[in-house]
Amino acid sequence: MNATPISTDEKAIDELLTRGVSEVIVKDDLHKKLLSGRQLRVKLGIDPTSPDLHLGRAVPLLKLRDFQNLGHQVVFIVGDFTAVIGDTSDKEAERPMLAKEVIEKNKEHYFEQAGKILDLSRVEMRYNSEWLSPLTYREIGEHADLFSVADFIARENIAKRLTAGKRVSLRELLYPLMQGYDSVMVEADVELGGTDQKFNVLAGRPLQQHFNQEPQNVVLGPLIDGLDGAKMSSSRGNTIALTAEPSYMYGQVMSMNDALVVNYFEVCTRLPMSEVEEIKNALAGGALHPKDAKMRLAREIVAMYHRKEAAQKAEEDWTKTFSEGGVPESVDQMSIQRGGTYAMALESLGESKSELRRLAEAGAISEVSGEKIIDLNKSIERDIVLRIGKHRFLKIVVK
């Protein structure tokens, strides 16, 4: 049982319901509950569709921490069963079913990664396979009877796919039922999610009423853009992973569009909103250069997931690399037998052959001297430091 006292501080509650929040359902009701002093059960589920949590996933996790800081019981669900079905809320095409072994591997470190944000000693951690796997056809039919096909196909992305003649599988109709049943099983008072999840999180309300529970309130947060300007998504590869090394994470933040900075300060950090407003106004008035604002943002984000000292070191590395034309002191390093190829060395970074080929063809792999590496099958005969993209380096030592 969570022994933390419940805070009813109105200023903190107001910020909880506004900072990085797109919509609250039902806001007045939730506001009253938060002021009542009653401990609420606040649920967030994330499917392990990739091995790493990223800043897009961190947005609702930070909101979950805000509830935790007020003393409420947070419930973090890793959707190891919902991941099999696959949520297509933000997809323009059907999402393929994931193999069980892929899900098992992906979920290995999810709770550990969430611990970079949450106090895990006060988190109820669950896998939804616990209650979804044993369901019978009769029970699923009972749940499905609460919804109509018209409800499902009215969703914007589903309607678009049907209009375009794209396939929508019956399997996809099951996903909202499953997510809604999660709320029943953990008796959620509040569920968090992104705006693309609205249909799924609302599914919990009629299911809870069916099982004689009070319907949960819902807090929806915004979706953030990734490094390429599109919605941050593991499938697009435009993410900033919570597990990224400090210097790499810092460099990724520095590489993103200037226009994203203020939004990232609001939803991806917990810098006081008064300071965020000062940064916003200084940027708008020309008193603050976008580069300096971005460096502040990069420091804040790296410090959140590592340490302040690591953030400072990452900034020194970035400054040395990009302002002074040098190479960071701490870079990835590997040994290779003389005659080994660039492809063999670069694959040690975890990149696929197709991605390495794309980078090479784009001229994004080079020696630090500036000479581009186009032929990845070329052999390496001497020690060398490579630059991959804008902010990654690899030191290759020939044995």
* N residues, the chain: 399
Phi, psi angle pair for 161, to nearest 5°: -65, -40
Task: Specify whether the CB–CB gap between 64 and 76 falls below 8 A.
Answer: yes
Residue, of 251 and 280, whose pLDDT is higher: 280
Task: Specify whether the CB–CB gap between 177 and 185 falls below 8 A.
Answer: no
Q: Which whole number is the average pLDDT over 208-219? A: 98
Task: Specify whether the CB–CB gap between 32 and 45 falls below 8 A.
Answer: no
Distance of CA 296 to the CA centre of its chain: 21
The fold for domain 246-323 equals Tyrosyl-Transfer RNA Synthetase (1.10.240)
Mean pLDDT taken over the chain: 89
Q: Which whole number is the average pLDDT over 94-115? A: 89
Task: Specify whether the CB–CB gap between 200 and 87 falls below 8 A.
Answer: yes
Task: Specify whether the CB–CB gap between 126 and 188 falls below 8 A.
Answer: no
Residue, of 386 and 52, whose pLDDT is higher: 52
Q: Is 327's pLDDT higher than 70?
A: no
Task: Specify the range with the lowest mean pLDDT, choosing from 28-37, 85-94, 173-182.
Answer: 85-94
Start-end of CATH 3.10.290.10 domains in the chain = 332-398
Task: Using pLDDT thresholds of 50, 70 and 90, give the confidence band for residue 31.
Answer: very high
CATH architecture of 332-398: Roll (3.10)
Task: Using pLDDT thresholds of 50, 70 and 90, give the confidence band for residue 368.
Answer: low
pLDDT on residue 91: 63
Q: Is 2's pLDDT higher than 60?
A: no
pLDDT tens string 182-210: 999 999 999 999 999 999 999 999 999 99
C-alpha neighbours within 13 Å on the C-beta side of residue 351:
21
Exposed, middle or buried, 121 (CB in 10 Å: 0-12/13-18/19+)?
Answer: exposed
pLDDT on residue 135: 96
Q: Which whole number is the average pLDDT over 233-237? A: 81
Start-end of CATH 1.10.240.10 domains in the chain = 246-323
Q: Is 391's pLDDT higher than 60?
A: yes
**Mapping DSSP to helix (H, G, I), strand (E, B) and coil, where does residue 56 land?**
helix
Handedness of CA 300, 302, 303, 305 (dihedral sign): positive
Counting residues of the chain whose pLDDT is more than 90, the rounded percentage is 61
Start-end of CATH 3.40.50.620 domains in the chain = 10-221
pLDDT on residue 90: 61
Tokens (6 digits) for 379 = 């052999």
Phi, psi angle pair for 3, to nearest 5°: -90, 0
Helix and strand element counts for the chain (H, E): 20, 10
Contacts of 112 (CB under 8 A, 6+ apart): none
Per DSSP, 260 falls in state G
Q: Is 4's pLDDT higher than 90?
A: no
CATH 3.40.50.620 holds for 10-221: yes
Q: Which whole number is the average pLDDT over 384-389? A: 81
Task: Using pLDDT thresholds of 50, 70 and 90, give the confidence band for residue 1.
Answer: very low
pLDDT on residue 317: 86
Residue, of 121 and 318, whose pLDDT is higher: 121
**Global pTM exceeds 0.75:** yes
**Mapping DSSP to helix (H, G, I), strand (E, B) and coil, where does residue 29 land?**
helix
pLDDT tens string 39-52: 999 999 999 989 99
Which pairing describes strands 23-25 and 365-367: parallel, antiparallel, or unpaired? unpaired
Q: Is 114's pLDDT higher than 70?
A: yes
Cα–Cα dist 74/64, whole Å = 7
Residue in this structure with the two tokens 């976008």, named with its chain if needed:
290
Residue, of 47 and 384, whose pLDDT is higher: 47
Q: Is 72's pLDDT higher than 50?
A: yes
Counting residues of the chain whose pLDDT is more than 70, the rounded percentage is 93
Which pairing describes strands 365-367 and 384-388: parallel, antiparallel, or unpaired? antiparallel
Q: Which whole number is the average pLDDT over 371-395? A: 81
pLDDT on residue 191: 98
Cα–Cα dist 57/233, whole Å = 9
Instruction: Express the helix, strand and coil content of the chain in percent, nearest 5 each.
Output: 50, 15, 35
pLDDT on residue 344: 86
For residue 163, give the amino acid letter. T
Contacts of 242 (CB under 8 A, 6+ apart): 52, 53, 54, 55, 57, 58, 113, 116, 117, 305
pLDDT on residue 93: 64
Burial 58-79 (b: 16+ CB within 10 A, else e): bbbbbbbbbbbebbbbbbbbbb
For residue 396, give the amino acid letter. I
